[in-house]
Amino acid sequence: MVTLSDIQTALGRIRESIQISPCTRSETFSELAGNSVYLKLENRQRTGAYKERGALNKLLTLSAEERSRGVIAASAGNHAQAVAYHAARLGIRARICMPLPTPLIKVSATRGYGADVLLHGANYDEAFAEALRQSEADKITFVHAFDDETVIAGQGTLGLELLEQHPDLEVFVVPIGGGGMIGGLACAVKEKNPKVRVIGVQPSRLPSMKVAVAEGKPVTLAAAVTIADGIAVRRAGERTLPLVQKYVDEIVTVEEEEVANAILLLLEREKTLAEGAGAAAVAALVNHRVELSGKRVAAIVGGGNIDVTLLARIIERGLVKDGRLVRLRVHLPDYPGALHRLTGILAEHRANLVETSYDRAYHGVNLGDTAIDITMETRGPEHIAELIAALGAAGYVHERIL
């Protein structure tokens, strides 16, 4: 099992090559969570995530012969880029197996850092199996994303760094995938200060570590899709589970909409970009998934590598949830000037039209009438209520499309 000494050694080994990421107090999230919240921004690392710590520590411990043969890893994102970047810096050839559905931007970034990328399999598990097969066949070192003691020790340096920045922190809220980061971090923090609470966060669709703790052993869960793809791990690690059992106080889960909203809040209020996994800890705090009040809390924003198309959908859905984007279906007579009258009412109440769509055949439309779906930017729920009241007063049959 990884020890504090292992993590301290890892910190000395990687210190010159890893950024000390900022950890500052957020007024917004402190108010929302009812605690003094500090955001540890690991999305500021060179490749956009904390994964560099473990990957680099592993690479620096390779023998000269192992370096000459190269390394291989399996990943759909952050671990791939971390291994690729630091391997190139050290003159080590890196091969990365990535699932076929991996977004092109992540494949391009990994290749851009100098790795040979092999697209294989429909999901991470199939890419992982192929990477293991090639590792054994070609006698090259496999760099596991989390279930490796050297990698865990590297991730644990995050805990030591946090204690250096803010020695008076009382609670650490940490995303969990396979358990590499929380295992190493919790070991470092608890061994230095046993009074500190460490709370893990997983997506409710794939709570692999929570289930493993309850069962006392790793359990393979059914595949599921989650916005927090960076921590979408079906089976907890064999090496990470004992660390979580020993050092982690609690594991909670968050829902998809909560994570999406946390991404939007971080972007809008803190001007920082987080991926789903990176926003999970913040989601747990603002939705009060953990029972805390008046504590000094560190939330780990583990990464910021998010596909831009997904980000666009998150922003749009977040605006809908906040009442700043609304779609109404309005029935009106199908004759010249009918739309002009309708838009006049909307303009009078300062709604900004984004999109319109006519339909004369569906939605129970009477002959001679039409239904129009109107998407509008609004100021919030009160403004939407004002618009609906105005339409009702004008005699329009209407409904809100959710």
For 163-216, how does the pLDDT look when each residue is reduced to its tens digit (9 = 90+)? 999 999 999 999 999 999 999 999 999 999 999 999 999 999 999 999 999 999
**99 within some domain:** yes
Residue 41 has pLDDT above 80, yes or no: yes
Last residue of a domain, which of 295, 318, 341?
318
Same domain, 219 and 260: yes
Same domain, 91 and 170: no
Of 248, 252, 206, residue with least CA distance to 228 = 206
Distance CA 58, CA 87 (A): 10
**148 within some domain:** no
How far lies 223's CA from each of 53, 107, 127, 220, 233, in Å? 28, 22, 14, 9, 9
User: Which residues make Cβ contacts (< 8 Å) with residue 369, sequence separation at least 6?
Assistant: 331, 332, 333, 334, 360
Q: Report, as an integer, the average pLDDT of 351-379.
A: 82
Same domain, 30 and 109: no
**193 within some domain:** yes
Distance CA 308, CA 277 (A): 15
Same domain, 205 and 263: yes
Give tens-digit pLDDT for 110-160. Answer: 999 999 999 999 888 899 999 999 999 999 999 999 999 999 999 999 999
Kindly indicate the confidence band of residue 317, based on its pLDDT and cuts at 50, 70 and 90.
confident
**147 within some domain:** no
Last residue of a domain, which of 88, 115, 142?
142
Distance CA 153, CA 146 (A): 10
Residue 327 domain boundaries: 323-401
Give tens-digit pLDDT for 215-247. Answer: 999 999 998 989 998 899 999 999 999 999 999
Same domain, 34 and 57: no
CB 169 within 8 A of CB 38: yes
* Distance, first Cα to last Cα, the chain: 50
**57 within some domain:** yes
- CATH number of the structural domain spanning residue 107: 3.40.50.1100
Residue 8 sits at the vertex; the CA angle it makes with 79 and 217, to the nearest 5 degrees, is 55
Element (H, E) at 13: helix 4-14
Sign of the torsion angle spanned by Cα atoms 179, 296, 314, 273: negative
Percent of the chain with pLDDT over 70: 98
Same domain, 332 and 310: no
Same domain, 135 and 159: no
Same domain, 166 and 26: yes
Number of domains in the chain: 3
Last residue of a domain, which of 318, 341, 362?
318
Kindly indicate the confidence band of residue 363, based on its pLDDT and cuts at 50, 70 and 90.
low
Six token digits for residue 231: 């921590």
Percent of the chain with pLDDT over 90: 83
Same domain, 46 and 57: no
Same domain, 111 and 86: yes
Distance CA 153, CA 5 (A): 9
Pair type for strands 369-377 and 352-359: antiparallel
Give tens-digit pLDDT for 340-355. Answer: 999 999 999 999 999 9
Distance CA 104, CA 339 (A): 43
Same domain, 136 and 243: no
Same domain, 29 and 100: no
User: Which residues make Cβ contacts (< 8 Å) with residue 335, sequence separation at least 6?
Assistant: none
Encoded amino acid at 256, one letter? E
Of 100, 246, 270, residue with least CA distance to 183 = 246
